[in-house]
Structure 1
Amino acid sequence: MLNPVELTGSDFSPEKGQVIVAEHNHRYTRAIYTEQHQWFADEAKQIGGDDYGPSPYEMLMAALGACTSMTVRMYANRKEWPLDDIRVTLSHRRDNRDGQVVDIFERMIQVAGDLTDEQRQRLLDIANKCPVHKTLTGTIDIQTQLR
């Protein structure tokens, strides 16, 4: 099992709210660091990676799925609804629509518990209000600098 390379120095110490992605090898393996966590991203072996971690799109789907599940749980807990379990399954594909490439994320939310139809519908509405969903469906401005 690989361990992310220890980064030292102020240039490599992520502050709260920052993510640092460092090259781990000269293929696709990347070490990812936040203030308190470390993990790898990679690509599958069949496209030249080492498969040491999830791909960037898998992490994007994981972010959406985790945020969805957390948001639904937070709402159900506040309302004291009998939500026993939440599972979010996601997939991604690209489609060509009228000459435009469209990214399609399919999200299946499974909930277990003695919920009414109205509660289930409200949880679906709440799922679409998770912060990551709002970011992905809103206007995004990525500002990039090269040093």
Structure 2
Amino acid sequence: MATNPSLVSVETASGKFQQTVRVGKHVFLADEPESLGGTDSGPSPYDLLLAALGSCTSMTMKMYADRKGIPLEGVYIVLEHSREHVEDCRSCNNEDNRIDVIDRSITLKGDLTKEQRQKLLGIAQKCPVHRTLENRIDIHTTEVRD
């Protein structure tokens, strides 16, 4: 069982898709919506991915604004995941030439100048999760037997 906040453990729970997720002292359920055969008892895996990007983006922008004395009062972010067909996709790693797309809409709250808004939106591109998602990712899997 994970106790380090940088480690995540996931274990099958009840139902067709329900999972128990542990991150340090936090425990919550992940699931799929009823329309996909789940019980909708928690966010879906893609919901969690979008939540990671959105929360990291907001945290990074707020941290930057605080450090630079920018009067950012709040950030509101809406994210959506989709797949798009791209005719000439040299970087696609699938046969049907589809790429994953995340649309991120950011609302900045506060009395901000045009320059401050532009700088903050640029900082959004630099959040660590954003950079991770744009990098090549290698996932190493090993089986652990009891």
With structure 2 as the length reference, what TM-score do the two structures score? 0.89
- Equivalent positions of 1:98-109 (< 5 A) are 98=87, 99-109=96-106
Q: Secondary structure at the match of 1:83?
A: coil
Whole-Å Cα distance in 2 between the matches of residues 69 and 17 of structure 1?
Answer: 19
Whole-Å Cα distance in 1 between the matches of residues 26 and 64 of structure 2?
Answer: 26
Q: Secondary structure at the match of 1:20?
A: strand
Whole-Å Cα distance in 1 between the matches of residues 28 and 44 of structure 2?
Answer: 12
Q: 1:50 aligned to 34, 39, 48, which one?
A: 39
Query: Residue in 1 aligned with 2:52?
Result: 63
Whole-Å Cα distance in 2 between the matches of residues 69 and 130 of structure 1?
Answer: 9
Query: Residue in 2 aligned with 1:96?
Result: 85
When the two chains are superposed, the root-mean-square deviation of aligned CA atoms in Å is: 1.1
After TM superposition, give the deviation of residue 47 of structure 1 in Å. Answer: 1.3
Query: Residue in 2 aligned with 1:9?
Result: none
Aligned residues between the structures: 136
Summarize deviations over 1:19-57 as a string: whole Å, max 9, x none: 000100251000000111111100011211010000000
Q: 1:144 aligned to 125, 141, 144, which one?
A: 141
- Equivalent positions of 1:1-80 (< 5 A) are 12-80=1-69
Whole-Å Cα distance in 1 between the matches of residues 63 and 118 of structure 2?
Answer: 16
Structure 2: tracts of 5 or more residues without a match: 88-95
After TM superposition, give the deviation of residue 145 of structure 1 in Å. Answer: 1.1
Name the aligned partner's letter for residue 95 of structure 1.
E
Structure 1: tracts of 5 or more residues without a match: 1-11
Closer/same/farther in 2, CA of residues 59 and 13 from structure 1, 3 Å limit: closer
CA contact (8 A) 1:14 1:20 kept: no
